[in-house]
């Protein structure tokens, strides 16, 4: 890669550095692992590679629009490529992202794996039983319970702390 191409890709990367997830505004797309790569396309145009957190994620359209707007504001060319394989996993989340989730009031995923069954989950037929405690992001207690497998978004479950009695979202491990 020549110096001009490297500088162009670096400029694209810097233009996207501030972009936050539309559903969790305290975490950047890079920290969450959605922004996979910035590379040179076959025709020389920079490509921004993104991967959804799960199939059918409704935020992907907004994320793509935000990327185009950031590139346009910086006067940079580029196109967005959605890459589905390998599938996104919570393993791609940075430690900074996990801490930001906790500080924002969302319990970060307790595990993640590229395997079919995440560590800490035992599958019985079509149902799964969670064996790992989900600490409350407000008080830190492990005395929590899942109240619904569906939280504010499909990638989260709703939990309640039985000590401080606060409800909270738990970012499901994938």
Judge if 20 and 66 occupy the same domain: yes
Q: Does residue 87 belong to any structural domain of this protein?
A: no
Judge if 100 and 70 occupy the same domain: no
Say which CATH number the domain at 67 has.
Answer: 3.30.300.130
Judge if 78 and 97 occupy the same domain: no
* pLDDT at 126 > cutoff 50: no
Retrieve residue 133's tokens. 């405690």
Instruction: Specify whether the CB–CB gap between 89 and 154 falls below 8 A.
Output: no
Q: Which domain holds residue 59?
A: 3-82
- The pLDDT value recorded for residue 111 is 67
What are the angstrom distances between the C-alpha of 7 and each of 1, 41, 45, 115, 161? 10, 15, 13, 37, 49
Who has greater pLDDT, 91 or 154? 91
Spatial separation of the C-alpha atoms in residues 19 and 60, rounded to whole Å: 13
Q: Does residue 139 belong to any structural domain of this protein?
A: yes
Q: Does residue 133 belong to any structural domain of this protein?
A: yes
- pLDDT tens, 65-94? 999 999 999 999 999 999 999 999 999 999
Peptide bond into 86 cis (omega under 30): yes
Judge if 28 and 71 occupy the same domain: yes
Judge if 42 and 103 occupy the same domain: no
Q: What is the mean pLDDT of residues 43-59?
A: 92
Judge if 72 and 117 occupy the same domain: no
Q: What is the mean pLDDT of residues 8-26?
A: 95
**Last residue of some domain: 82, 114, 135?**
82
Could you give the 3-state DSSP secondary structure of residue 160?
Answer: strand
Q: Does residue 71 belong to any structural domain of this protein?
A: yes
Picking from 13-27, 95-109, 129-143, 158-172, which range would have the lowest pLDDT averaged per residue?
A: 129-143
Judge if 58 and 115 occupy the same domain: no
Judge if 10 and 72 occupy the same domain: yes
Note the Cα 174 to chain centre separation in Å. 10
**Last residue of some domain: 33, 58, 82?**
82
Could you give the 3-state DSSP secondary structure of residue 28?
Answer: strand
Judge if 124 and 151 occupy the same domain: yes
Who has greater pLDDT, 61 or 155? 61
Judge if 50 and 73 occupy the same domain: yes
**Last residue of some domain: 52, 82, 112?**
82
| Number of separate domains in the chain | 2
Residue owning tokens 């972009």: 19
Judge if 128 and 103 occupy the same domain: yes
Q: Does residue 88 belong to any structural domain of this protein?
A: no
Q: What is the mean pLDDT of residues 31-48?
A: 96
Residue 89 CA neighbour count, 13 Å, CB half? 14
Closest CA to 107 of 142, 129, 134: 134
**Beta bridge partner(s), residue 85:** none
């Amino acid at each position: 890669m020549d110096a001009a191409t490297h500088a162009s890709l670096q400029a694209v990367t810097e233009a996207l550095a501030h972009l936050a997830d539309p559903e969790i505004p305290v975490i950047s797309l890079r920290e969450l692992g959605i922004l996979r790569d910035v590379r040179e396309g076959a025709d020389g145009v920079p490509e921004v590679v993104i991967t959804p957190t799960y199939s059918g994620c409704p935020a992907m359209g907004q994320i793509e629009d935000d990327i185009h707007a950031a590139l346009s504001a910086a006067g940079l060319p580029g196109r967005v490529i959605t890459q589905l394989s390998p599938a996104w996993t919570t393993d791609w989340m940075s430690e900074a992202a996990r801490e930001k989730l906790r500080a924002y009031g969302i319990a970060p995923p307790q595990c993640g794996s590229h395997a079919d069954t995440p560590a800490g989950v035992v599958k019985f037929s079509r149902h799964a039983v969670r064996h790992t405690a989900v600490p409350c992001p407000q008080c830190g207690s492990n005395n929590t319970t899942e109240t619904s497998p569906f939280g504010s978004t499909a990638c989260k479950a709703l939990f309640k702390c039985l000590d401080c009695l606060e409800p909270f979202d738990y970012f499901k491990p994938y």
